[in-house]
Amino acid sequence: MSHSPAPGPGRRTVFRGAALASGAAVLGGAFAAPPLQASPVRIAEPALHTRAAWNARTPSSPVQVLATPPTNIVVHHTATANSDDHSLEHALALSRSIQNFHMDTQGWIDVGQQLTISRGGHVMEGRNRALPAIREGSQCVGTHVANHNNTTIGIENEGTYTGVEPTGALIDALVETLAWLCQAYGLNPDAIVGHRDFNATECPGEVLYGMLPELRNRTMGVLEAEGVQVPPHSQADPDAAPTYPAVPDDEPDHTFHHGPVRGPDDISR
Ligand SMILES: [Zn+2]
């Protein structure tokens, strides 16, 4: 899908160095930031539906924001039905249902992931402060990858992709979102990984996981077409690097389950 450029900060000429230097809420700080990229923002934000659009609940505690950008972008599936309803109304309802599950059943302060994409290709803001954090190059800490929540940003893709491919609309919106995030955080597309690269889970499903090389290639194509200077891939902090655990044989099978999302190393909840 194609969107007209969004107004607002995403279209401003912003330099990441300035964004990082102005980061007000610095928590953690155990991870070194990658070299600053003096590359002006060129990738337009996806046509993104904010928390106000899906009538998000207020977090039960303040969400944490780190000045350090994430080192990886993690692709998930939502482990929900592969719905044929591609409407915006359905997408907004999906965001509400995920937030209710995460807050009421899981007991987290808010929805776990930073972004959600529906099978109709609608992109929604997830956790509170996710969108302003991306715009300024900082990270809103989510709850989506056990022991790596303070170094990763997560995208939940509606559906269960153990045996079928996502819709073309979802993949197109995902590529657009990945390019936006890579540019915003100065990441090489090699930083795009699946949840299973960090935790013992099938998420994002065998089929979507197998599409990651294609997603990286398409994202690189967008960045190059827009003239974005793509930094070399670096995984400077070994503690932040993917661990590639084995996929479990007995992954629990129920709606919203997509593997471990909190661990003893996590500051988030
Ligand atoms: Zn996952």
Residue-level pLDDT, tens digit, the chain, 269 residues: 444 444 433 333 333 333 333 333 344 444 444 444 445 667 889 999 999 999 999 999 999 999 999 999 999 999 999 999 999 999 999 999 999 999 999 999 999 999 999 999 999 999 999 999 999 999 999 999 999 999 999 999 999 999 999 999 999 999 999 999 999 999 999 999 999 999 999 999 999 999 999 999 999 999 999 999 899 988 777 778 899 999 999 898 899 999 999 998 887 78
Ligand 1 centroid to residue 52 C-alpha, Å: 24
- What DSSP state is assigned to residue 227? T
23 assigned to some structural domain: no
Ligand 1 centroid to residue 252 C-alpha, Å: 12
Q: Provide the domain limits for residue 143.
A: 65-229
168 assigned to some structural domain: yes
251 assigned to some structural domain: no
57 assigned to some structural domain: no
Ligand 1 centroid to residue 165 C-alpha, Å: 16
Ligand 1 centroid to residue 74 C-alpha, Å: 8
Q: What is the pLDDT of residue 39?
A: 58
26 assigned to some structural domain: no
Ligand 1 centroid to residue 47 C-alpha, Å: 23
109 assigned to some structural domain: yes
Ligand 1 centroid to residue 203 C-alpha, Å: 5
Ligand 1 centroid to residue 262 C-alpha, Å: 11
Note the pTM of the prediction, 2 decimals.
0.85
Q: What is the pLDDT of residue 248?
A: 93
Ligand 1 centroid to residue 17 C-alpha, Å: 31
Please calculate the CA angle 196-248-124 and round it to the nearest 5 degrees: 35
- Report the DSSP pairing between strands 192-194 and 72-77: parallel
Ligand 1 centroid to residue 258 C-alpha, Å: 4
3 assigned to some structural domain: no
222 neighbors 175 (Cβ within 8 angstroms): yes
**Number of independent structural domains in the chain:** 1
205 assigned to some structural domain: yes
Q: What is the pLDDT of residue 61?
A: 96
- Whole-number Å distance between alpha carbons of 206 and 43: 30
Ligand 1 centroid to residue 209 C-alpha, Å: 11
Alpha carbons within 13 A on the beta-carbon side of 191: 28
Ligand 1 centroid to residue 160 C-alpha, Å: 11
Ligand 1 centroid to residue 92 C-alpha, Å: 20
Q: Name residue, tokens 């937030």.
A: 99
Here the CATH number for the domain that contains residue 79 is 3.40.80.10
Ligand 1 centroid to residue 22 C-alpha, Å: 32
Distant-in-sequence, close-in-space partners of 78: CB < 8 Å, separation ≥ 6: 94, 98, 116, 156, 157, 158, 159, 160, 256, 258
Q: What is the pLDDT of residue 266?
A: 84
